[in-house]
Amino acid sequence: MKKLVLIIALFAIVMQLTSCTDADVASQNISEDAEMFKVYRRVVFYNGITNEYILQIQGYCSVETENERLAVIVKTDKGDFVKHYLGLSDNVTYFSEQLIPSKVSTKQYKVIFKPSVIVPDVDLK
Q: In this predicted model, what pLDDT tens digit does every residue of 10-38 receive, in sequence order?
A: 666 655 545 667 777 777 878 888 888 88
Tell me, yes or no, whether 14 and 68 share the same domain: no
Expressed as residue numbers, the domain containing 42 is 37-100
In Å, how far are 27, 33, 80, 110 from 107, measured between CA atoms?
Answer: 12, 16, 33, 10
| Residue 105, in any domain of the structure | no
Find out whether 109 and 25 touch, Cβ atoms under 8 Å: yes
Spatial CA neighbour of 40 closest among 56, 62, 18: 62
User: What is the tens place of the pLDDT at every residue in 59-101?
Assistant: 998 988 888 888 999 999 998 999 998 888 888 888 888 888 8
What is the pTM for the complete model shown? 0.62
Specify if 21 maps to a domain.
yes
